[in-house]
Amino acid sequence: MARVKPIYLDNAATSHPKPESVYLAVMAALRDGGSPGRGTHHFARTADRLIFETREALAELFSGGDSAQFIFTANATSAINQALFGLLQSGDRVVTTMVEHNAVIRPLRQLQSRGVEVVKVAVDPVTGIVNKSALQQACLDKPTRLLLVNHCSNVIGTIQPVEGLGRWCHEHDILFMLDGAQSAGLLPIDLQTLAVDLFAAPGHKGLLGPQGTGFLYLKEGLKLTPLIYGGTGTNSHSDLQPENLPERLESGTLNLPGLAGLKASLQFLQQTGIDQIHLKETRFIAKLLNGLQKIEGIKIYGSGNVMLRLGAISFNLEDRDPAEVAYILDDEERISVRVGLHCAPDAHRIIGTYPTGTIRISPGYFTTEEEIERFLTVMGKISKMKRKK
Ligand SMILES: Cc1ncc(COP(=O)(O)O)c(C=O)c1O
């Protein structure tokens, strides 16, 4: 029997496929690129320009002002680590939520052992939405340095209603940080309007760029201690790390092919329009929720309101191990989904799926209606199958 065409429903992990222009840009940068910021020859200057243009494209997409405030990192995790370890010291206090990713949970746990106080605010067990007043109250209980919120849950897709939080934080002398790992590229985000002080995102998920790319935005005037010290191609006479951005936080040779690919994907996003992408994504989520609801034995987690969610849908099949279902999907049907805790154990404790987790599906911009229909048909079939021993 001819094998069926694979279906990729794991865009919350990394987007696949990427726009064609991304593959071409990566290849061209590998062939033509020098070391950005290192040297005055043609190859280095070309690389330097490419990096600058990628930074500019980010600043434009996120309304972030001066592009020097966008620091390139290897992924969202390294951006979050740079932000937290670069900012927080013993005696500082952080307020966050119970739907954070391990990229936040683990550095905060480490910082706790260095004397940083961490307060996690509960979320609604069904919708995953954190109560704004509870968050604000937690911030006011004691002097707080940072409020850190996961913009969109990678487990149940909850979009947190963060509007107004940044300004409120500033009125109370608190810094406001968003983990944009699941929202960047899928939701229109204006960093100035949201009054965000720190924003971390990967380049390889909703931004449709290559793996190995990510960034940290920090508001002008905010100074972080670098996590990594070294060569920046500037101030080479000095053994001190430069003060100015982006060099201060970007030691070592940058990922030129990755960032060339990111530039191409940012162009694709601008041309397509984030509004259009959001609309398409919402349509897919609605279709998936609607279809899954009709299958007997399926329990879907998170809000039933598609306007309150994005990206990822978690579900389970009654009395079935999610790992077994994911195995059948992959092995027999070539449908790639994610299974388990999705690096967010607290979220599973809240929704009652700890420790086995859930099956997570996340369509992407290049998912098709037909693929969604086939996935739903297959799920209907699996729901009727006898449990494997
Ligand atoms: C909410 C959230 N934060 C952070 C991350 C970490 O992203 P990266 O793998 O790019 O480090 C992820 C990845 O899935 C995520 O979903």
Domain boundaries, the chain: 7-18+273-384, 20-272
pLDDT score, position 2: 55
- Who wins on pLDDT, 213 or 347? 213
Mutate to test the pocket of ligand 1, among 14, 343, 348 (most ligand atoms within 8 A of CB): 343
In this predicted structure, what is the pLDDT of residue 248? 97
Average pLDDT over residues 321-340: 95
Gap between the Cα atoms of 37 and 51, Å rounded: 9
Look at residue 382 in the predicted model and tell me its pLDDT. Answer: 95
DSSP 5: P
User: Domain 20-272, CATH 3.30.565.10 — does that match?
Assistant: no
* Residue spans of alpha helices (H) in 161-273: 165-171, 256-272
d(CA 184, CA 266): 11
- Measure 389 CA to ligand 1 centroid, in angstroms: 34
Give the per-residue pLDDT at 38.
80
Asked which of 123-132, 349-358, 379-388 is least confident by mean pLDDT, the reply is 379-388
pLDDT at 39: 79
d(CA 155, ligand 1 centre) in Å: 11
**158 pLDDT above the threshold of 80:** yes
Which of 258, 188, 301, 267 has its CA nearest to residue 27? 258
The token duo for 193 is 């309007």
Q: Please give the distance, rounded to the nearest whole angstrom, from the Cα atom of residue 203 to the centre of ligand 1.
A: 10
Q: Do 183 and 151 form a contact (C-beta atoms < 8 A)?
A: yes
- Calculate how far, in angstroms, residue 29's C-alpha sits from the geometric centre of ligand 1: 26
Q: What is the pLDDT of residue 3?
A: 72
Handedness of CA 130, 135, 138, 144 (dihedral sign): positive
Among 81-90, 118-127, 189-198, 340-349, name the one with the lowest average pLDDT.
Answer: 340-349
Mean pLDDT score, 208-237: 95
Residue in 14, 16, 179 to alter for ligand 1 test, most ligand atoms within 8 A of Cβ: 179
CATH 2.40.160.100 correct for 7-18+273-384: no
pLDDT, average across residues 161-181? 98
Mean pLDDT of the chain: 95
- Of the given ranges (7-11, 30-34, 190-194, 219-223), which has the lowest mean pLDDT? 30-34
End-to-end CA distance of the chain: 26
Weakest-pLDDT range from 136-150, 156-170, 222-236, 359-373: 222-236
The closest alpha carbon to 310, from 99, 100, 157, 130, belongs to 157
Decide: 75 in ligand 1 pocket, CB within 6 A: yes
Q: Which string of b and e fits 254-272 if b means at least 16 CB within 10 Å? A: bbbbbbbbbbbbbbbbeee
pLDDT for position 232 = 87
> What's the mean pLDDT in 367-384?
97
Does ligand 1 come within 6 angstroms of the Cβ of 154? yes
Band (pLDDT 50/70/90 cuts) for residue 388 is: low
Per-residue pLDDT reduced to its tens digit, 338-349? 999 999 999 999
Query: How does residue 234 score in pLDDT terms, banded at 50, 70 and 90?
Result: confident
What average pLDDT does range 330-355 have in this prediction? Answer: 93
Percent of the chain with pLDDT over 90: 90
In the chain, the percentage of residues whose pLDDT exceeds 70 is 98
Q: Are 326 and 341 in contact (CB under 8 A)?
A: no
Output the CA 212–ligand 1 centroid distance in Å: 12
Residue 181 has pLDDT above 60, yes or no: yes
C-alpha 5 – ligand 1 centre gap (Å): 28
| DSSP conformation letters of 74-122 | SSHHHHHHHHHHHH--TT-EEEEETT--HHHHHHHHHHHTTT-EEEEE-
Check pLDDT > 50 for residue 1. no
Does pLDDT of 236 surpass 90? no
Shortest-distance atom of ligand 1 to CA 151? 1
CA dihedral sign, ordered 169, 170, 174, 178: positive
